[in-house]
Structure 1
Amino acid sequence: MKSFEVIGLDLLGTLFAIDSIRGRLEKAGLAGHDLEIWLGRVLRDGFAAELACGYRTFHQVAHGTLRALMKERGLRASDAAAFEVLAGFSELLPYPDVEDSLAALSRAGARLVAMTNLTAESAEKLLNKAGVAGCFQRIVSGDVVQHWKPAREFYEFTLKTCRVEPSKFAYVSAHAWDLQGAAQAGLTTAWLHRKEAFPGMTPEPSLRANSLPDLVRSLAWKGPESRSRAA
């Protein structure tokens, strides 16, 4: 692959399915469908904290919003129950198409970077347990950058750390809000359709695909050199 030098990949919901967290929520007394409500609040409050009072880690925000949701449901919001749910983020399973796709990108010479709002420690545990940590050159995490995606600073920090120009960096995510920040930093954006539909008011990504293998092929054909040859 003589196209993009670096390919960044989101973790939660993009490489790793989060559905297994539902079982932990149910054990804590919540409903499985509370997962979407809770994670929506995690993003909301994480973004708000950064804008209003400074960075808070993913786990700090997730812990606080989970306990609040449990109280709303009339449950005993103990630290132990919350931590048991949060421990599930280190136990997530990758989507079936992930391992082979990452291996293909690595064999093609692309440098892979995991980009996540999780802490570096949590991301490392997740990647190691899935057996794909060796595919990644580095992890760029919220606690290192001190910003949440989609803050532009997160993606600019990644560019600086990787010592690469924006035109040679492609970013893959299943979340449109995530790609907006990447686009603001000048990255090529690649949307992977997992579960979320792409919202109409969001700027169109550079690439779209319904599976990671399809996206790998698109990245190979749509890189900077391919575009220059086409021009």
Structure 2
Amino acid sequence: MTTHPKGGRARMKPSTILFDVNETLSDMSPMAERFIEAGAPADLAKLWFATLLRDGFALTAAGDNGAFADIGAEALRGLFAGMELARGREAAVEHVMAGLAGLGLHEDVPDGVKALKAAGYRLTTLSNGSTQLAENLLSSAGLRESFERLLSVEDAQSWKPGKAAYEYAASACGAGTDELLLVAVHPWDIHGAARAGLGTAWINRPGGQYPAYFQAPDYTVSGLDELAAALA
């Protein structure tokens, strides 16, 4: 499914496409196996990631900027407290966190990246996680050379969806916010980028409903491999 802008903002064609990394490019489903190996329920993986994001957003709202890995590890310690694990709690935390470095891409990503690069767009990542995770992810897939730069909010004043994160990306790319298009699976990221003046493209792989309380995306696609055609 691909939908195009309708009845909303008139936008110039973007020069640079920003990609969220966690869940947008990376397939995080293998993290469930990491929890099982640690002796915890598989469905705790989703709760952990939601907790990580919640606390990162709370720090941002309070004017702080916490490190993704530090928040993730501490959230795990809280979730694992009092639980009978297959290994010591700290070893379990380390085992789960190490899984982030070994994730692969969603199957629609390689063709999507290649098509967008061939269409002449400048490609950049903007993650609430570290640049090293993005480096590992893209390098292992042979796509690192398609990206001009890898950006992290660790170098910005706030996490996404704070406005400062998107303004930092625009400055790093030497572009105005209206020249950028953010691609993400997270509606909260789409909303934040739209509020900061960026164009937006929502990847809706599961075919879910977009929350009405967030600003609607300019484009909706079911896979990244549809985006170049939607932008043409």
Under a length normalisation based on structure 2, what TM-score does the superposition of the two structures give? 0.88
Overall identity of the aligned pairs, in %: 33
Q: 2:179 — aligned with what?
A: 168
Give me the whole-angstrom Cα distance separating, in 2, the residues matched to 1:38 and 1:72.
Answer: 16
CA contact (8 A) 1:68 1:77 kept: no
Give me the whole-angstrom Cα distance separating, in 2, the residues matched to 1:77 and 1:54.
Answer: 31
Q: 1:129 — aligned with what?
A: 140
Give me the whole-angstrom Cα distance separating, in 2, the residues matched to 1:16 and 1:120.
Answer: 13
Q: Deviations over 1:101-155 (max 9, x none)?
A: 1111111111001111111222212221222111110011021224211111000
Counterpart amino acid of residue 105 in structure 2: P
Counterpart amino acid of residue 185 in structure 2: A
Q: Which stretches of structure 1, 4 residues or more, deviate above 3 A after TM superposition?
A: 72-77
Give me the whole-angstrom Cα distance separating, in 1, the residues matched to 2:136 and 2:81.
Answer: 30
Give me the whole-angstrom Cα distance separating, in 2, the residues matched to 1:161 and 1:138.
Answer: 9
CA contact (8 A) 2:166 2:177 kept: no
Q: Choose from 105, 123, 131 the match for 2:116.
A: 105
Which structure dedicates a bigger proportion of its chain to helix?
Answer: 1
Give me the whole-angstrom Cα distance separating, in 1, the residues matched to 2:88 and 2:228.
Answer: 43
Consecutive unaligned residues of structure 2, counting only runs of 5 or more, are 1-11
CA RMSD of aligned residues (A): 1.7
Give me the whole-angstrom Cα distance separating, in 2, the residues matched to 1:77 and 1:141.
Answer: 31
CA shift for structure 1 position 52: 2.9
Consecutive unaligned residues of structure 1, counting only runs of 5 or more, are 221-231
CA contact (8 A) 2:19 2:125 kept: yes
Give me the whole-angstrom Cα distance separating, in 2, the residues matched to 1:31 and 1:89.
Answer: 18
- Higher mean alpha-carbon deviation, 52-61 vs 24-33, is at 52-61
CA contact (8 A) 2:157 2:164 kept: no
**Within-5 A mapping of 1:218-229:** 218-220=230-232
Q: Deviations over 1:179-224 (max 9, x none)?
A: 111011100111110245422222211111112122221122xxxx
Q: 1:12 — aligned with what?
A: 22
Q: 1:21 — aligned with what?
A: 31
Under a length normalisation based on structure 1, what TM-score does the superposition of the two structures give? 0.89
Counterpart amino acid of residue 136 in structure 2: K
Q: 2:229 — aligned with what?
A: 217
Counterpart amino acid of residue 83 in structure 2: R
**Within-5 A mapping of 1:131-150:** 131-150=142-161
| 1:190 is aligned to 2:201 | yes
Q: Choose from 195, 209, 216 the match for 1:204.
A: 216
Would you say how many aligned residue pairs link Structure 1 and Structure 2?
219
